Amino acid sequence: MSELDEAWAFALAEAESRARLAGRRDIAAYLALRNSNDLLRRTGIEWLIATFETLAAQANRQGASIQISKEDNHRFRIGNSTMVGKLLTLRFGVRELSIEAGWPRTPRDGVVRSGLASAHIRHLGITSASEALRLVQSQQGAPSWVVGEKGERQAEIHETNLRKHIATLLASG
């Protein structure tokens, strides 16, 4: 967690405490939900980024030579909304795979439609292999990444799906 994220979490906790002391249960409940959702978002994004990093490192141990770079506080667009989060870029020769994941941080950034966070998995020059993901909360309470819009069949993303993206990156064209 970055210093800014820590400061934000602390500010939310302080605001929730003040709302409870002032008898504003409605505001306290909203802030508690916001804090809980932010934890789910961070957890889901960390899993996605860390899994790709691990898979790239495994490929490198087998001789792949994937260059790995990361960026925090990355901003990217999904529809009319601006997401703020992380960017992981994996380069193999002339091929590039970028993974960006985040959520809107301020009201002017917009919203995530039907989910907690959004992500793009983009293959440079191979748009058919790229995917747009949404982080949703399951009935068990744990977050999960899915492909597909609400109302249509949604496929849950697992490590196996991410391995396919690494294989596409490494495939000789």
Query: CA–CA separation, 143 vs 98, rounded Å?
Result: 22
Per-residue pLDDT of 23-37, as tens digits, reads 777 777 766 677 778
Order of strands across the sheet that contains 131-137: 67-78, 81-92, 95-103, 117-123, 131-137, 143-147, 155-156
Per-residue pLDDT of 92-113, as tens digits, reads 999 999 999 999 988 899 988 8
